[in-house]
Amino acid sequence: MVEMTGSKALMEALRREKVKVIFGMPGGANLPIYDDLYDSGIKHVSVKHEQVGAHMADGYARVSRGPGVCMATSGPGATNLVTGIATAYMDSSPVIAITGQVPKAMIGRDAFQETDVVGVMASITKHTIQPLSAAEVPSAIKSAFYIANSGRPGPVLVDIPKDVQVENAEMIFPEKLEIRGYTPFLPIDRVKVAQAAEILAKAERPVIWGGGGIRISDASEPFTAIAELLNAPVVTSLQGKGIFPENHPLCLGPMGMHGRAEANKLIGEADVILAAGVRFSDRTTGTADEFGKSAKIIHIDADPSEINKNKRVHLHLLGDAKEILGQIYKTLANSVKRKGPGSWIERINEVREEMKQISAYDTSRSDLTGPNIVRLMREILPLDSILTTGVGRHQMWCEVHYQVLKPRTWITSTGLGTMGFGLPAAVGAKFAKPDVPVIDFDGDGSFMMTETALAVAVEERVPIIAIILNDKSLGMVEQWQRIFYKRRYSGVKTTAGPDFVKLAEAYGADGRRVDSLEQFAKTLREGLGSDMPMLIDVPVDPEYDVFPFMAPGKSLKDTVHGPKEMGIF
Amino acid sequence: MTSVKIIAVLVENRPGVLFKVANMIRRRSFNIESITVGTVDHKDISRMTITLHADDAIVEQLVKQLSKLIDVIEANVFTPEEVIARELAIIQLSPDVKVTTDTKVTQELRIVESSSESLTVELLGGPDVIDEFLQKIGESNVLSVARTGITALPKRRN
Ligand SMILES: Cc1ncc(C[n+]2csc(CCOP(=O)(O)OP(=O)(O)O)c2C)c(N)n1
């Protein structure tokens, strides 16, 4: 046992968790922490805005498998974290937020910069901890890291009053913790494994559906093995893109509101759906009643509260997806021979051929459209490049046209759909993987929400590339207003948007504008070779919409393939 | 189908835990009929007994979400028939009310104070016992009522 202050114990606990970088912003209520951070050996990145810091920690976490850490002072610092923490919560990302709080004696008295952040964050975190004495700090941090990154991961808040930071105590740094209310994984039910294998073995038209849970549990290997053994097509949710190489012959791509037409169609013809690490989000399944109507659904998830939440399933298995899928694969491999291409694969190829004709997949144009830019970008980017996005049509064009080939190289906000996620997440990702290219593919609207992250990129010399599809509009919303509100464009047009090239230059980054695909390709290649952050402004037509499109409240079979079918052109 | 549900929750006896549990119930827009909290034999564990009207499927989901809270050690849902439930009521009646002790209900009744202003009784029993008593005595005779809300333990069966 050693005596030290709460703040010094925090540094020691963070070092024990092997924290290399903290994305933070100092202020009155965390000054003692910042004083100890000064010579802690832990890298601190000054984030300019706490939301930016939370997204950076999130991007870092999604790429690196480990928690990402962000820090803020009390009051406005803590409330600025909220959007970032909610984003991490919805996408099950292990982010640790450490906030300073006013001294204990001031709590509840509306002290300067006092916000009840524990109350505010309660419904958007996996857990919150407020150590009320310095001696509690080591176990608070130990449990925060353990809880954030086990079972179904999620953000954890540690709110430390200022007097606790400076208080001295005898510290014990626990190696292990027992938390009686928390069992990340229950033992796997072998009977259900056998049942699942039996249903799959008998399936005539199986579809394997994977989501973010497969990435989180690193379960791509058994997932792929099952698909290949059964010769079963694979669909993903948007979060699951990349858990199965999208250029694999069995991959139909993502399904959902802007999923691939073939995925949206064929899922409706399945007789068995193996749904692994997914949560049946309305954006992915459409109306729950219609989804998988004629199929037996087997659901694998880490979180018991996901079972039967949005859709009653026939069989569910709780636990770690990697282990469960591994066991199902083993059982299957013992009983069935590798299946050859039968009538189901024939049917799949038929639908694929049919869908090649839809206007959303048309490749005959050679101008600067979202799909053209995205496909070209894929050709240019090395395999292991990491792509982050904002939220909007640009993101959906990536969903449809950007083939993700490796897990953890596609980082996007799906659950909360947070504009402004892309750029800071890219910077965070680059900290986790400095050796691979990291690209933020963004919309002008999304970019402007957190553009200060560019200052961080320049300051920290992290050469990310931000590509802005600049339609001078909140394009996705404009599209909805075009389709559902008779072209009454309300609040979507940017009439005096910034000159993004000058903006980049003002931040000290390399700003470019391109007006053709050739120029785009050339500039992107230059950016890949540069050690400076680069921004590429790509002017695009705001009237060019994203398809396929399943309207909200509809089911996947109602997917519309182009503007003509939608009746808007 | 919506009906009365009794949720039994064992939680860490710590500041903020009642808030987290109540906040989760609020999120699903349930109205809590009653909630009682007290420590169990281990002083660091509390038992909450929550009564609400809810649909079977939604309450199943709610209980899973409650179980997910780190500070919740165990959460289970029961129908009223599956538990032994008790509630205490203190009832102030008009001084001239005659309470007889002939019915089953009133066997549980004890007079705790009697003055020229009021007659105060306490009544212990299942929630239906208290409801029945109040109904019998008539609204006009009741000055005020305090009910604890039910506390309950599941019946053990073999
Ligand atoms: C923080 C936040 N505010 C509002 C929205 C609603 N919204 C969804 S997409 C969108 C437009 C996005 O515009 P932009 O980033 O320019 O992308 P585009 O659709 O033009 O590609 C808006 C406003 C959101 N998702 N997030």
Write the CATH number for B42.
3.30.70.260
From CA B137, how far away is CA B158, in angstroms rounded? 40
Position of tokens 């925090």? A10
Q: Is A471 close to ligand 1, i.e. is its CB under 6 Å away?
A: yes
Which of A187, A116, A118, A127 is CA-nearest to residue A153?
A: A127
> Does pLDDT of B102 surpass 80?
no
Decide if A308 contacts A289 (C-beta within 8 A): no
Last residue of a domain, one of B78, B95, B117: B78
Position of tokens 């540069």? A530
Residue-level pLDDT at A547: 97
> Does B101 share its domain with B56?
no
Which of A391, A399, A378 is CA-nearest to residue A423?
A: A391
Atom of ligand 1 nearest to the CA of A416: 25
Which of A146, A144, A135 is CA-nearest to residue A172?
A: A135
Q: Is A419 close to ligand 1, i.e. is its CB under 6 Å away?
A: yes
Instruction: Give the mutation target among A474, A478, A493, A538 for probing the ligand 1 site: most ligand atoms within 8 A of CB.
Output: A474
pLDDT in tens, A334-384: 998 888 889 999 999 999 999 999 999 999 989 999 999 999 999 999 999
> Does B129 share its domain with B96?
yes
Q: Is A393 close to ligand 1, i.e. is its CB under 6 Å away?
A: yes
Last residue of a domain, one of B78, B95, B127: B78
> Does B62 share its domain with B119?
no
Instruction: Give the mutation target among A52, A419, A442, A543 for probing the ligand 1 site: most ligand atoms within 8 A of CB.
Output: A419
Helix (H) or strand (E) holding A135: none
> Does B88 share its domain with B57?
no
Atom of ligand 1 nearest to the CA of A471: 20
Give the domain extent around B6. 2-78
Decide if A265 contacts A559 (C-beta within 8 A): yes
From CA A352, how far away is CA A151, in angstroms rounded? 37
The overall average pLDDT reported for chain A is: 97
Cis omega (within 30 of 0) on the bond before A548? yes
> Does pLDDT of B99 surpass 90?
no
Identify the DSSP state of A92: T
Identify the DSSP state of A286: B
Question: If pLDDT is split at 50, 70 and 90, which confidence band does B103 have?
Answer: low
Kindly calculate the radius of gyration of chain A based on its CA atoms and give it in whole angstroms: 24
Decide if B100 contacts B62 (C-beta within 8 A): no
Decide if A73 contacts A99 (C-beta within 8 A): yes
From CA A499, how far away is CA A231, in angstroms rounded? 51
The overall average pLDDT reported for chain B is: 90
From CA A228, how far away is CA A251, in angstroms rounded? 11
From CA A222, how far away is CA A208, in angstroms rounded? 12
Residue-level pLDDT at B98: 79
Residue-level pLDDT at A338: 86
Would residue A520 show up in a list of annotated catalytic residues for this protein?
Answer: no
Torsion of CA A505, A379, A413, A369, to 10 degrees: 70
Q: Is A84 close to ligand 1, i.e. is its CB under 6 Å away?
A: no
> Does B96 share its domain with B133?
yes
CATH of region A361-546, choose from 3.90.550.10, 3.40.50.970, 3.40.50.300, 3.40.50.720: 3.40.50.970
Tell the CATH topology of A190-355.
Answer: Rossmann fold (3.40.50)
Strand order in the sheet with A465-470: A410-411, A386-389, A438-443, A465-470, A534-539, A510-513
Question: If pLDDT is split at 50, 70 and 90, which confidence band does A531 have?
Answer: very high
pLDDT in tens, A172-207: 999 999 999 999 988 999 999 999 999 999 999 999
Structure tokens at A56: 């950076």
Q: Which residues contact A258 (CB under 8 A, 6 or more apart)?
A: A396, A399, A400, A546, A547, A548, A549, A550
- Give residue limits of the domains in chain A: 2-171, 190-355, 361-546
pLDDT in tens, A256-314: 999 999 999 999 999 999 999 999 999 999 999 999 999 999 999 999 999 999 999 99
Residue-level pLDDT at A444: 98
Structure tokens at A486: 């008779």
Would residue A112 show up in a list of annotated catalytic residues for this protein?
Answer: yes
Q: How far apart are the CA of A542 and the centre of ligand 1, in A?
A: 13
Q: Is A424 close to ligand 1, i.e. is its CB under 6 Å away?
A: no
Interface test with B, best of A104, A182, A280, A312 (most B CBs within 10 A): A182
Decide if A260 contacts A253 (C-beta within 8 A): yes
Which chain A residues are within 8 Å of B65, Cβ to Cβ? Answer: 305
Question: How close B65 gets to chain A, by Cα (Å)?
Answer: 6
pLDDT over 90 percentage in chain A: 96
> Does B69 share its domain with B87?
no
From CA A368, how far away is CA A346, in angstroms rounded? 35
pLDDT over 70 percentage in chain B: 94
Residue-level pLDDT at A410: 98
Question: If pLDDT is split at 50, 70 and 90, which confidence band does A117 have?
Answer: very high
pLDDT in tens, A145-173: 999 999 999 999 999 999 999 999 999 99
Question: How close A505 gets to chain B, by Cα (Å)?
Answer: 46
Q: Can you give A141-186 as a three-state secondary structure string?
A: HHHHHHHHCCCCCCCEEEEEEHHHHHCEEEECCCCCCCCCCCCCCC
Chain B residue nearest residue A305, CA to CA: B64
Residue-level pLDDT at B151: 94
> Does B26 share its domain with B47?
yes
Q: Does B16 touch chain A (CB under 8 A)?
A: yes
Choose the catalytic residue: A113, A309, A554, A557.
A113
Residue-level pLDDT at A143: 97
> Does B136 share its domain with B150?
yes
> Does B149 share its domain with B93?
yes
Ligand 1, atom 8, lies closest to the CA of: A392
Question: How close B40 gets to chain A, by Cα (Å)?
Answer: 16
> Does B8 share its domain with B70?
yes
Contacting B with CB below 8 Å, chain A residues are 118-119, 122-123, 126-128, 130, 132, 147, 179-182, 303-305, 307-309
Structure tokens at A154: 């999620």
> Does pLDDT of B106 surpass 70?
no
pLDDT over 70 percentage in chain A: 100
> Does pLDDT of A387 surpass 60?
yes
Atom of ligand 1 nearest to the CA of A418: 26
Question: If pLDDT is split at 50, 70 and 90, which confidence band does A9 have?
Answer: very high
List for chain B the helix, strand, coil content (%; round to 5).
Answer: 30, 45, 25
Last residue of a domain, one of B78, B94, B119: B78
Decide if A386 contacts A436 (C-beta within 8 A): yes
Phi, psi of B129 (to 5 degrees): -60, -45
From CA B85, how far away is CA B5, in angstroms rounded? 12
From CA B152, how far away is CA B158, in angstroms rounded? 19
From CA A215, how far away is CA A232, in angstroms rounded? 20
Q: What is the mean pLDDT of residues B3-11?
A: 95
Neighbours of B92 (CB within 10 A): 18
Which chain A residues are within 8 Å of B46, Cβ to Cβ? Answer: none
Q: Is A164 close to ligand 1, i.e. is its CB under 6 Å away?
A: no
Assigned CATH for A2-171? 3.40.50.970
> Does pLDDT of A224 surpass 80?
yes
Q: Do domains A2-171 and A190-355 have the same CATH topology?
A: yes
Q: Is A418 close to ligand 1, i.e. is its CB under 6 Å away?
A: yes
pLDDT in tens, B12-46: 999 899 999 999 999 888 889 999 999 998 889 99
Which of A140, A122, A136 is CA-nearest to residue A170?
A: A136
Question: If pLDDT is split at 50, 70 and 90, which confidence band does B128 have?
Answer: confident
> Does B58 share its domain with B106?
no
Decide if A463 contacts A534 (C-beta within 8 A): yes
Choose the catalytic residue: A12, A50, A114, A167.
A50
From CA A121, how far away is CA A78, in angstroms rounded? 9
> Does B96 share its domain with B71?
no
From CA A67, how far away is CA A424, in angstroms rounded? 16
> To 10 degrees, what angle do helices A517-528 and A370-380 make?
40
Return the minimum-mean-pLDDT range out of A204-208, A398-402, B94-98: B94-98
